[in-house]
Amino acid sequence: MAALGGDGLRLLSVSRPERQPESAALGGPGPGLCCWVSVFSCLSLACSYVGSLYVWKSELPRDHPAVIKRRFTSVLVVSSLSPLCVLLWRELTGIQPGTSLLTLMGFRLEGIFPAALLPLLLTMILFLGPLMQLSMDCPCDLADRLKVVLAPRSWARCLTDMRWLRNQVIAPLTEELVFRACMLPMLAPCTGLGPAVFTCPLFFGVAHFHHIFEQLRFRQSSVGSIFLSAAFQFSYTAVFGAYTAFLFIRTGHLIGPVLCHSFCNYMGFPAVCAALEHPQRRLLLAGYALGVGFFLLLLQPLTDPKLYGSLPLCVLLERAGDSEAPLCS
């Protein structure tokens, strides 16, 4: 954090197309102070989001329907108010992105169909191995699975399941809104797009540490196991956050990260150990390897900004004179 006031981070001027000295870029606070404003705003959002989960006192576990319903209310309130934090940040820093706040946060119609489909397809390719594993372990055939998926009764059952709504709808929507759509526009002018991809997920990963308190409270495991699990969860949520931040910047849409988040919540972390012990482990391991290989091969083509129109965050940096942002081309 101490590096925020030094040369490692830069605040981009967006008041005129030509570069200005950093000290006069905004006609207000210096670049170090403005970077601190950005970091403090992101930290405040993260704390508000996690804190909203604990405004309700209850002796019940987090998966109880009554607890989930109460948390829906508080999280939706915080998420609905989160754009106000971006608005306040804009006023405090003097940054004018040259586009509407909603557009900057990924709410736009231009390129929405590829933005919804292609990132989800890319993520499903990455999960080729786990999808094969799920298919092999499911006793029903493809036709039966399609009937279940398409049956209105199945969807009605899902919509009344509080855990399903939390994992597939509310958590992906609110977390991507707060931790991607609100935080990235505030961090990018300070750090640049590349570092923002790796800085933003740190707030997302740390926000998941609150699960430690609930596990300790209900003594669900030993203290060592709980902290080891929390460290592991921080690691993969940070990696996942970097991936959805990359998708948000490259597509300029919120819908892609939300759908990918929902899909990953459904799939869970890949059961690699189970795959190693599976009767058809060679086929499964080949699926895992092919999925990762094709994912890396298609990552750039399927997120090519040309498919999605003008990208708001890239426009913001172009107005600042940073027309060579690598993620914008």
The most confident of the ranges 147-156, 166-175, 309-318 is: 166-175
What residue spans define the domains of the chain?
Answer: 31-320
CB 175 within 8 A of CB 261: yes
Query: Could you tell me which residues come within 8 angstroms of residue 233 by beta carbon, excluding any fewer than 6 positions away?
Result: 205, 208, 211
Which phi and psi angles does 261 have, rounded to 5°? -65, -45
Cα four-point dihedral sign 315, 320, 323, 325:
negative
CB 177 within 8 A of CB 79: yes
CB 268 within 8 A of CB 206: no
Asked if the model's pLDDT at residue 13 lies above 70, the reply is no
Of the candidate ranges 41-45, 126-130, 321-325, the one whose mean pLDDT is the lowest: 321-325
Q: What confidence category does residue 155 fall into, taking pLDDT thresholds of 50, 70 and 90?
A: confident
Verify whether residue 175 is a known catalytic residue: yes
Helix (H, G, I), strand (E, B) or coil at 327: helix
Average pLDDT over residues 33-48: 87
Tell how far CA 149 is from the center of its chain. 26
Q: What is the pLDDT of residues 292-323, one digit of tens each?
A: 999 999 999 999 999 998 898 888 777 655 65
Per the residue annotation, which of 175, 176, 261, 318 is the catalytic one?
175
Tell how far CA 208 is from the center of its chain. 13
Q: What confidence category does residue 25 fall into, taking pLDDT thresholds of 50, 70 and 90?
A: very low
Closest CA to 42 of 274, 201, 216: 201
Asked if the model's pLDDT at residue 289 lies above 70, the reply is yes
**Per-residue model confidence (pLDDT) at position 304:** 95
Closest CA to 302 of 269, 260, 241, 263: 260
Give the pTM: 0.84
Verify whether residue 91 is a known catalytic residue: no
**Per-residue model confidence (pLDDT) at position 22:** 36
Per the residue annotation, which of 22, 64, 208, 211 is the catalytic one?
208
Distance CA 285, CA 266 (A): 21
**Per-residue model confidence (pLDDT) at position 300:** 95
Q: What is the pLDDT of residues 71-92, one digit of tens each?
A: 999 999 999 999 999 999 888 8
Q: What confidence category does residue 237 fall into, taking pLDDT thresholds of 50, 70 and 90?
A: confident
**Per-residue model confidence (pLDDT) at position 190:** 84
Q: What is the pLDDT of residues 93-122, one digit of tens each?
A: 888 777 889 999 999 999 999 999 999 999
Asked if the model's pLDDT at residue 229 lies above 90, the reply is no
Strands (DSSP E) contained in the chain are none
**Per-residue model confidence (pLDDT) at position 32:** 64
**Per-residue model confidence (pLDDT) at position 166:** 94
**Per-residue model confidence (pLDDT) at position 118:** 98
Which residue would you say has higher pLDDT here, 237 or 220?
A: 237
Of the candidate ranges 143-147, 162-166, 197-201, 269-273, the one whose mean pLDDT is the lowest: 143-147
Closest CA to 211 of 234, 195, 192: 234
CA angle 259, 104, 303 (to 5 degrees): 50
Neighbours of 148 (CB within 10 A): 11
